[in-house]
Structure 1
Amino acid sequence: MELLNRHVTIRKFTPKEISTDLLKNIIYSGTRASTTGNMQLYSVVVSRDKKMKEKLLPLHFNQPVAKSAPVLLTFVADFNRFSKWCEYNSATPGYNNLLSFTNALIDAVLVAQNVCIAAENNGLGICYLGTTAYNAKEHIDVLELPKLTFPVTTVAIGYPEEIPDLTDRIPLEGIMHDEVYTNYDEVSIKKLYAFKEGLESSKQFVQENNMQTLAQVFTNVRYKQADNEFFSKKMLETIKAQGFVID
């Protein structure tokens, strides 16, 4: 719990390489995560080669962390491997559907988080890159992913150059619901987000973006509706192109 409670995202890494044995041990620990029906519906593509990382960099919007990390781990929702096992053993797979895609998606995220915890327990730092799903089609091309797979997320991993302070979280009473979901009114919402909004870093964030509130920074700058709709459409097209039927 102490390890989890002091987690921070690392965006600056030293040039120190990660040994192959350590990397394998970390990924093995990832495979001990819970998985749907013990099917292990995921794969992990390890990118260490400089030229390969250069190909991936623009797909991550040229984030410096994607360039400086010695290793990029792309976690893939993978029903290709399991389906082939079925076919080679006189069984007919029926996994080209929304439920199967969701199961594989969850499996990939679970193994990714286990890998991150194992990495941090070995003195490494991590940074999730959400840009993977934004540019799934391009990742599929670069990483040569077959049908019935989908790149879910990437983790930049390496030895931290610096350890930032803990980031804020809303109070636990905003997360926990006893027995049934308790909806939020304006008073409770203001209370839950008061600390976040009162931080000097948040106030500076608002000022730098010429907004009136922190919420406007998220809706008007960081995660705009037009961008969400564009990438949603692109993502859905890619999911269907990968053989998952989602209507």
Structure 2
Amino acid sequence: MQTIDALKAHRSIRKYKNQKVEEQLLNSILEAGCRASTTGNMQVYSIIATTAEKIKAELAPAHFNQPGVLQAPVILTFCADFNRFNKWCKQRKAEPGYDNFLSFMTAAIDALLVAQNVCIAAEAKGLGICYYGTTTYNAQKIIDVLKLPKGVVPITTVTLGYADEQPELTDRLPLEAVIHHDTYKDYSPEDIDRIYQEKENNPKYQNFVKENNKETLAQVFTDVRYKKSDNEHFSNELMKVLKNQGFL
């Protein structure tokens, strides 16, 4: 499959066959993933590949017990990691200055770049993947389970395996919603109406509105799925993690 075709065919897979991913195939995918761009060629990330059922079971609560975490043969946790780089610096008579938020952002970007590369490589090899945004919600629980030292923070989790479903493609906003030419062009009320019209008219989302007793789809996001109180709570928890892990 051509790369651009694979990208356009992306689906989030939440049901997996009871079939192991061969070690050679997994290593090939991870090797391709690690060719991702990285700041200063430092590679300030680590990938925890979890296949043990016991560890997957311990990770599941951190991901709100979503079935795919237990069902997928491989769980990949992508981490911002300055621990390794700091140790290298100290062993080579160099004093690292990476205990700050900028360094966390550098490492988080590295981790996300390699995660996306891994996902593209996996899908090109016929495997299914799914991102889990719950990683930053419950970062401390994941740190405890995976025994992550200071300087290491989990950024995202990806389940990987052979798909046992073929869901429809998820809708996306039109290009005009996200592409700005030369400079940022702010959105008029008419732009917003046009950009979100197809999404709001989608029967699936109209059902979401009814099921949640809301007036608009936007209210489903603000009042149910991603509430201000939850955002503030998990923000505070993440800031504690960054402090405990040596980035603040």
TM-score for the superposition, normalised by structure 2: 0.98
Q: Which residue of structure 2 aligns with residue 33 of structure 1? A: 36
The one-letter code sitting in structure 1 at the alignment partner of 2:94 is A
2:103 alignment partner, SS class: helix
**Whole-angstrom distance in 1 between the partners of 2:117 and 2:224:** 32
**Whole-angstrom distance in 2 between the partners of 1:82 and 1:208:** 49
Please state how far the C-alpha of 1:68 moved relative to its aligned partner: 1.1
Segments of 5+ residues of structure 2 without an aligned counterpart are: none
**Whole-angstrom distance in 2 between the partners of 1:98 and 1:58:** 28
The one-letter code sitting in structure 2 at the alignment partner of 1:138 is K
Q: Which residue of structure 2 aligns with residue 79 of structure 1? A: 82
Q: Which residue of structure 2 aligns with residue 162 of structure 1? A: 165
The question of whether the paired residues in 1 share the 8 Å contact of 2:77 and 2:158 is answered with yes
2:115 pairs with one of 112, 115, 121: 112
**Whole-angstrom distance in 1 between the partners of 2:182 and 2:215:** 37
Question: 1:126-141 alignment to 2 at 5 Å?
Answer: 126-141=129-144
The question of whether the paired residues in 1 share the 8 Å contact of 2:80 and 2:108 is answered with yes
Q: Which residue of structure 2 aligns with residue 145 of structure 1? A: 148
- Confirm or deny that 1:186 pairs with 2:189: yes
1:93 pairs with one of 93, 96, 101: 96
- Confirm or deny that 1:219 pairs with 2:222: yes
The question of whether the paired residues in 1 share the 8 Å contact of 2:53 and 2:70 is answered with no
**Whole-angstrom distance in 2 between the partners of 1:149 and 1:52:** 18
Please state how far the C-alpha of 1:67 moved relative to its aligned partner: 1.7
Q: Which residue of structure 2 aligns with residue 232 of structure 1? A: 235
**Whole-angstrom distance in 2 between the partners of 1:129 and 1:17:** 20
Q: Which residue of structure 1 aligns with residue 65 of structure 2? A: 62
Offset from partner CA, 1:188-245 (integer Å, 9 cap, x none): 0010000001011011111111111110000000000000000000000110110012
Please state how far the C-alpha of 1:99 moved relative to its aligned partner: 1.0
2:202 pairs with one of 199, 203, 209: 199
- Structure 1 segments, 4+ long, off by >3 Å, are none
Q: Which residue of structure 1 aligns with residue 106 of structure 2? A: 103
2:98 alignment partner, SS class: coil
1:174 pairs with one of 177, 181, 196: 177
How many residues align structurally? 245
Q: CA RMSD in A?
A: 0.6
What percentage of aligned pairs have identical amino acids? 54
1:127 alignment partner, SS class: strand
Q: Which residue of structure 1 aligns with residue 14 of structure 2? A: 11
Please state how far the C-alpha of 1:185 moved relative to its aligned partner: 1.3
TM-score for the superposition, normalised by structure 1: 0.98
1:75 alignment partner, SS class: strand
The one-letter code sitting in structure 1 at the alignment partner of 2:58 is K
**Whole-angstrom distance in 1 between the partners of 2:171 and 2:144:** 37
The question of whether the paired residues in 1 share the 8 Å contact of 2:82 and 2:107 is answered with yes
**Whole-angstrom distance in 2 between the partners of 1:162 and 1:140:** 31
Offset from partner CA, 1:163-184 (integer Å, 9 cap, x none): 1111111110111111110001
